[in-house]
Amino acid sequence: MALLSVLTPVLAVVLCLVIGFMLVRSRETATTSATQGNYVSPETDFRPWVDQDLRDDTEITAKEDEDGDWAESNEEEDLLHVPYSPPHYPEETMLERSKDLYTLMNQRRSVRFISPEPVPREVIDNVIRTAGTAPSGAHTEPWTFVVVSDPETKHQIRRIVEEEEEVNYRQRMGNKWVNDLAKLRTNWIKEYLDVAPYLVLVFKQTYGILPNGKKRTHYYNEISVSISCGILLAALQNVGLVTVTTTPLNCGPQLRLLLKRPANEKLLMLLPVGYPASDATVPDLKRKPLDDIVVHI
Ligand code: IYR
């Protein structure tokens, strides 16, 4: 009995440690499975958010750093600096151009009803070229644009996206998110993935590979690729094409494998591209006035 009363506090401490350890482990598993894009059990209270879905293997690569896989520096050779003199417009012209671009961009809408009408491939090439003019960290140009026009591949993409999106809408996103989207009338059925003549899948390269096989740091890769997506949207608008910016939650790894992209590439955005369907509708959204979005100091 005496031994038991001595052992009880020890047992209680051991029990607490075991429970604590198990809790930490279960949290780690939930986070890892979400970040790796694996299925998240609906029982876990974990609500993935786009940022988490986009988390890449920076933690892993930081560890690999010690293995000497990384290049010492991104510097290849010295760069020539050359004169730069783009047009300097008179103020009147500037005003007119600023208005014209605003008018064009203000007509841009996310369109979920896309026509199957073919679009010239050269136009898409030029749009992608334009997106590739974006600034990037240390000019690493950390983007890959996968342009899919093959109907069978488009259909496989649709199957992957719809299967995951159904789980997203039913379980992962949670009621608040689904309710917030109700007014946009979106759901997991994505007909445009079959119908649009092109699907553009934008991948961010979380690191590069140098000719000597060493890894090259892609500084600010996510913001760089995001900027290029913005330019891509403007380029599409400029030629009268439409798209909807989609970030299919939990689909990245499967789509990367389907499209045979390497492990350093993470899906950032999926854009169906084409002309709007003749009966396309969009929600009657209003944009915030200038005074609500600008602060002059
Ligand atoms: N990715 C889903 C959900 C979705 C999320 C947001 I935030 C939107 O503004 C619109 C949709 C989908 O594409 O349906």
Residue 28: the pLDDT is 44
Take residue 292 and report the two structure tokens written for it.
């609500």
Q: Name the token pair of 204.
A: 């961010």
Specify the higher pLDDT residue, 124 or 49.
124
State the DSSP code for 54.
T
Ligand 1 atom 6 nearest Cα: 181
State the distance from the centre of ligand 1 to the C-alpha of 257, rounded, in angstroms.
23
What average pLDDT does the segment 35-56 reach? Answer: 48
Give the pLDDT score at 72: 83
CB contact at 8 A, 271 and 150: no
59 pLDDT exceeds 80? no
Q: What is the pLDDT of residues 178-236, one digit of tens each?
A: 999 999 999 999 999 999 999 999 999 999 999 999 999 999 999 999 999 999 999 99
For the record, the structure tokens of 34 come out as 């979400």
**91: burial class by Cβ within 10 Å (0-12, 13-18, 19+)?**
exposed
Instruction: Render pLDDT for 149-169 as a digit per residue (tens, 0 to 9).
Output: 999 999 999 999 999 999 999
> What was the pLDDT predicted at 77?
75
Instruction: Return the best residue to mutate from 157, 188, 189, 247 for the ligand 1 pocket (most ligand atoms within 8 A of CB).
Output: 247
| Beta strand 143-148 pairing with 265-273 | unpaired
CA of 243 to the centre of ligand 1 (A): 13
Model pLDDT, residue 15: 54
For the stretch 249-273, pLDDT in tens is 999 999 999 999 999 999 999 999 9
- Alpha carbon distance 181, 50 (integer Å): 15
Q: For 11-39, what is the mean pLDDT?
A: 48
**What is the distance between the alpha carbons of residues 124 and 116, in angstroms, rounded to a whole number?**
15
Please indicate, yes or no, whether the overall pTM of this predicted structure exceeds 0.85: no
The residue whose CB lies within 8 Å of the most ligand 1 atoms, and thus the one to mutate among 160, 164, 186, 189, is 186
pLDDT at 84 over 90: yes
What dotted CATH number matches 56-65+98-279? Answer: 3.40.109.10
Query: What is the CA 269 to chain-centroid distance, rounded?
Result: 4
Q: Would you kindly state where each structural domain of the chain is located, as residue ranges?
A: 17-49, 56-65+98-279
Confidence of residue 69 (pLDDT cuts 50, 70, 90): confident
What residues contact residue 52 under an 8 Å CB cut-off, 6+ apart? Answer: 31, 34, 35
> Over 60: is that where the pLDDT of 61 sits?
no
Residue with the bigger pLDDT between 208 and 43: it is 208
Q: If you measure from the C-alpha of residue 186 to the centroid of ligand 1, how many angstroms do you get, rounded to a whole number?
A: 7
